[in-house]
Amino acid sequence: MTGHGEATMESRSNDEAMAEVYRSDPAFALEVIYNILEDGDQAELMIVLWS
């Protein structure tokens, strides 16, 4: 068991799930993006944009 491999699988599953949420509810996706822009968290913004 490698902690790195397990984290990657969990992250990927979460990323895929969030991408599905954003596709099914574009208004929610925009709200999330606006909130991230207000907070100024560039790393979090990149994660959301890649979803």
Residue 2 has pLDDT above 90, yes or no: no
Q: What does pTM read for this prediction?
A: 0.59
For the chain, the first-to-last Cα distance in angstroms comes to: 27
Q: 51 vs 36, which has greater pLDDT?
A: 36
pLDDT(41) > 70: yes
Confidence tier at 51 by pLDDT (50, 70, 90): low
pLDDT tens profile 10-30: 566 787 888 899 999 999 999
pLDDT value of residue 18: 85
Please tell me whether residue 51 adopts helix, strand or coil conformation.
coil
